[in-house]
């Protein structure tokens, strides 16, 4: 009797046998969008604090923005455990950089390049780190902002976003971002984007952090919530013109 489980489907055999159970197949606990922008004195980043477990909003205090060395900030979306692994890699990278004790330190461009190589090489082994990362910082007055995806696609720009942020936030940023944004303007712009994401991204939670990096250093805000408005007439009496409708 033909065992249907053994019949050969159009499987990609490069993905290894069942014994090879150590590869990432799909993400479990995930973070949603991260947004980053350059502004007058440095860079600003925004990310909410949600860690979703499929459709469950399981964790609501996940810090997805972290500093890297003296000059950089990393923001991660995707699998949270893989982000924690990336932080272990980066902590080791910075440690070795500090151990040279030669006054030089890795800047954001270097860290971004390192991350790009790590992500690409994992993709080459069919065992990706399931993240989309935002990496930015400022060193010697030069601002840098870049992003890397789980398969190694990377680029730098004046504003970047991951996931849904690319669809909802980037258009706003393309319209309203300009060089020499003040800190207040930058935060307002990020909040505008985060609000749209909150309304339209199912995995977003209303608890976010804003991180800032300048020549002076890194700060991340205390978690806070955005004001939202659900006070639309159409929501008040949704079936007004459509009795029996859902």
- Chain Cα centroid distance, residue 80: 10
Query: Cβ of residue 33: shortest distance to another protein, in angstroms?
Result: 13
Q: Is 32 a catalytic residue?
A: no
Secondary structure (DSSP) of 158-205? SEEE-THHHHHHHHHHHHH--TT--HHHHHHHHHHHHHHHHHH-TT--
When the beta carbons of 124 and 228 are compared against another protein, the nearer one is 124
Least distance to another protein, CB of residue 190, Å = 19
Give the interface with another protein as residue ranges (CB under 8 A): 5, 9, 11-12, 14-15, 18, 25-26, 116, 120, 123-124, 126, 128, 130, 150-157, 166-167, 170
Cα–Cα distance for residue pair 203/84, rounded to 1 Å? 20
The residues near 128 (Cβ < 8 Å, ≥ 6 apart) are 24, 119, 122, 150, 151
Distance, in Å, from the CA atom of 71 to the CA atom of 215, rounded to the nearest integer, reads: 8
Return the number of the residue (85 or 157) whose C-beta is nearest another protein: 157
Q: Which residue number, 155 or 199, has a Cβ lying nearer to another protein?
A: 155
By beta-carbon proximity to another protein, the closer residue of 94 and 134 is 134
Out of 11, 24, 147, 214, which one is annotated catalytic?
24
Angle at 179 between CA 174 and CA 184, to 5 degrees: 90
Least Å distance, CB 112 to another protein, is: 12
Residues contacting residue 203 through CB under 8 Å, at least 6 positions apart: 30, 32, 50, 52, 57, 164
Shortest distance (Å) from residue 161 CB to another protein: 10
Active site residues: 24
């Amino acid at each position: 009797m033909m065992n249907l489980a053994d019949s050969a489907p159009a499987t990609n055999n490069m993905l290894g046998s069942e014994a090879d159970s150590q590869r990432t197949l799909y993400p479990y606990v995930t973070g949603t969008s991260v947004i980053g922008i350059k502004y007058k004195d440095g860079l600003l980043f925004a990310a909410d604090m949600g860690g979703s477990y499929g459709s469950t909003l399981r964790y609501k205090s996940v810090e997805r923005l972290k500093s890297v060395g003296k000059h950089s900030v990393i923001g991660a979306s995707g699998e949270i455990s893989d982000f924690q692994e990336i932080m272990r890699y980066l902590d080791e990278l910075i440690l070795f950089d500090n151990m040279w004790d030669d006054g030089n330190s890795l800047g954001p461009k270097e860290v971004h390049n390192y991350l790009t190589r790590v992500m690409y090489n994992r993709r080459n082994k069919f065992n990706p780190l399931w993240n989309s990362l935002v990496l930015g910082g400022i060193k010697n007055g030069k601002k840098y902002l870049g992003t890397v995806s789980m398969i190694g696609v990377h680029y730098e720009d004046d504003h970047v976003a991951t996931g849904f942020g690319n669809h909802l936030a980037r258009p706003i940023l393309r319209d309203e971002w300009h060089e020499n944004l003040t800190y207040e303007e930058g935060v307002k712009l990020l909040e505008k984007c985060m609000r749209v994401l909150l309304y339209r991204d199912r995995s977003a939670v209303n608890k976010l952090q804003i991180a800032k990096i300048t020549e002076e250093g890194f700060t991340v805000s205390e978690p806070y919530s955005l004001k939202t408005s659900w006070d639309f007439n159409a929501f008040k009496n949704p079936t007004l013109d459509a009795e029996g409708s859902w």
